[in-house]
Structure 1
Amino acid sequence: MTDVVSKDRNQGKNQLRVGRLVKAHGLKGALKLELYTDNPERRFTPGAEFTLQVPEASPWHGKTVVVREYRVMNGNPVVFLQDVDDRDAAETLVRAILWIDQDSDEVEDDAWFDHQLVGLDVVRDGLVVGKVARVEHFPAQDLLIVRSGDREILVPFVKAIVPTVDVSAGRVVVTPPPGLFEELPDTPEDADAESSGSDDSE
């Protein structure tokens, strides 16, 4: 499960991204889940309906799916969906992202709506280095798009890099790796390597 879960507003509705279908499991239509929720037993109850995020070319584009059953099998979360009865059907849903309608006052740990994050100050080592311009959602992880001066910086929205989100204080704290927010200067070793390369070529 990811360390930080993002929430999004889609067509005026508050929606929560709760999982991604990562792999067909067995022959009866089951799919392994990557969870983006701290409460899968509540989210994946029989009858729960999810909006699908899939490519436009997918036969599932614009459709929803309904849960038949949720299980943990060999330590892996697995979901069975209505009208997905065999492995071939399950394969057509691999990499689909599942969204569910979410009440704005319903809170999960480490979960925020996009609109709560946009506009927050981005603080590094006690200094404001930019503002959150938007949130981009990708299958592997979410990205905070940070406006810093005239640049946009793509910050992976994971706990190791964004350890603190304090909506009430209007800020997120970042601990980025070197080079994410600034150009790294050439090191003496780099200069020596370039020099050595020149000598070797002569």
Structure 2
Amino acid sequence: MVPTASHDDAGDWVVVGRVGRAHGIRGDVAVDVRTDEPERRFADGAALRTPTGQLTVASSRMHSGRLLVRFEELADRTAAEAARGTELRVFVDPEETPADPEEFYDHQLVGLRVVTTDGAAVGELLRVEHHGAQDLLVIGTDRGEVLFPFVSALVPEVDLDEGRLVVDDAPGLLDLE
């Protein structure tokens, strides 16, 4: 539902993938893709930020349903194996929005008022945490932070123009009582 990202005052560094296992002997790696735009994010010459620096895409291709990428900085299989698990990010301008109207970048969501489907105030969206199985909304309430699953069945409406995010409170998720 949300391309993964971390908040930055000048925009977002969006996670677009994670380096997987090495493929072959020349430094190619499989990439666990976390973007709907792999052809754009992993285009030849694309610079991706990592926790320790940068990786530059030399080439990319699909192979057996997986994206294989060769990075200029990974010269051989040993370097590729050492990079396994590395998070890959790209900078997204604060004015940019995802092509799909049902997707949002974190910087668009942080600060929205959170209300229930019946209009009861819950709090303010502090951040989005990205986990393998699903994303979680971190909502600041009068009683502290609450983690809420960010799935369309429980978050039926995101209204950026109104600055509001609507949640369908299933028993036990918000514990507002």
C-alpha RMSD over aligned residues: 2.6
1:80 aligns with 2:70: yes
SS of match in other structure, 1:5: coil
**Alignment partners' CA distance in 1, 2:152 and 2:2:** 6
1:167 aligns with 2:157: no
Q: 1:44 to 1:148 in 2, by over 3 A?
A: same
Residue equivalent to 1:41:
39
Identity among equivalent pairs (%)? 38
TM-score (norm 2): 0.80
Q: Shift of the alpha carbon at 1:158? A: 4.1
Residue equivalent to 2:90:
100
Q: Shift of the alpha carbon at 1:21? A: 1.9
TM-score (norm 1): 0.71
Q: Shift of the alpha carbon at 1:142? A: 4.1
SS of match in other structure, 2:78: helix
- Alignment deviations for residues 118-171 of structure 1 (CA, whole Å, 9 cap, x no partner): 221223333332221223455665432101222211224344543432211212
Larger Rg: 1
Give the number of the structure whose residues are more often helix, by fraction.
1
Q: 1:105 to 1:178 in 2, by over 3 A?
A: same
Residue equivalent to 1:152:
145
> Any residues of structure 2 matched to 1:11-90 within 5 Å, and which?
12-53=10-51, 61=52, 63-90=53-80
Equivalences, count? 172
SS of match in other structure, 1:101: strand
After TM superposition, the structure 1 stretch with the greater mean CA deviation from structure 2, 172-181 or 101-110, is: 172-181
Gaps of 5+ in 2: none
Q: Shift of the alpha carbon at 1:65? A: 0.5
Q: Of 119, 122, 136, which aligns to 2:114?
A: 122
After TM superposition, the structure 1 stretch with the greater mean CA deviation from structure 2, 135-144 or 79-88, is: 135-144
Aligned partners of 1:130 and 1:148 also within 8 Å: yes
